[in-house]
């Protein structure tokens, strides 16, 4: 059964490696957080990366973003390939490598790539979406969430 709206952000325990820093749910409290799952072999994931890059600029200082690379196939477990993709797509946010699928299982992503989650500043899930329209759905929820916040909280 998938995570429900209002669920606490799951832990990232089980990540086999981290790049660009390590985070946990407690360290993300205070700002909305987008957690996204991707795989090097996922073309939709790569097609959506430019939108995530735009978000980093548009929402700078207002949200946090965490990347989780969750392999779809054996070739995705090649860390050198993941690093190359991170460089190519400017993935400079904390990135967990989930080669054992423990993180994805905790987030209940099933067999979908990409998968996006939005958590509020208290670490409660506000929205989740997968596939090629996932980012558009998450952005609508993100805009609503940011508009709900008092002006001082979004600074």
Output the six-digit token pair for 11. Answer: 């832990």
Chain centre distance of CA 34? 5
Output the six-digit token pair for 69. Answer: 């690379």
Residues 107 and 101: their CA atoms lie apart, in Å, by 10
Q: For residue 105, with 0-12 CB atoms within 10 Å meaning exposed, 13-18 middle and 19 or more buried, which class applies? A: middle
> Sorting pLDDT into bands at 50, 70 and 90, what band is 143?
very high
Residue 148's pLDDT is what? 87
Digit-coded pLDDT (tens) for 43-97 = 999 999 999 999 999 999 999 999 999 999 999 999 999 999 999 999 999 999 9
Digit-coded pLDDT (tens) for 113-126 = 999 999 999 999 99
* Percentage of the chain exceeding pLDDT 70: 94
Domains recognised in the chain with CATH numbers: 38-114+129-142 (3.40.30.10)
Residue 1's pLDDT is what? 53
Range with the poorest average pLDDT among 93-97, 99-103, 108-112? 108-112
Residue 150's pLDDT is what? 61
Full DSSP string of 49-83: HHHHHHHHHHTTTT-EEEEEE--SSGGGG-HHHHH
Q: How many residues does the chain have?
A: 155
Backbone dihedral region for residue 101 (phi beyond 0: left; psi -120 to 50: alpha; all else: beta): left
> Sorting pLDDT into bands at 50, 70 and 90, what band is 39?
very high
pTM: 0.93
Contact 67, 85 (CB under 8 A): no
> Sorting pLDDT into bands at 50, 70 and 90, what band is 3?
confident
């Amino acid at each position: 059964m998938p995570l429900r709206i209002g669920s606490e952000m799951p832990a990232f325990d089980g990540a086999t490696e981290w790049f660009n820093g390590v985070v946990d749910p407690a360290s993300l409290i205070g700002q909305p957080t987008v957690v996204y799952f991707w795989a090097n072999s996922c073309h939709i994931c790569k097609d959506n990366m430019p939108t995530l890059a735009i978000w980093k600029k548009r929402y700078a200082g207002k949200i946090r973003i965490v990347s989780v690379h969750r392999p779809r196939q054996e070739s995705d477990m090649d860390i050198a390939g993941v690093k190359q993709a991170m460089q190519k797509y400017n993935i400079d946010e904390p990135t967990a490598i989930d080669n054992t699928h423990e993180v994805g299982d905790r987030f209940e992503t099933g067999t979908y790539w990409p998968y996006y989650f939005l958590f509020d500043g208290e670490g409660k899930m506000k929205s989740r979406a997968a596939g090629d329209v996932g980012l558009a759905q998450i952005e609508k929820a993100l805009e609503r969430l940011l508009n709900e916040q008092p002006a001082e909280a979004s600074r």
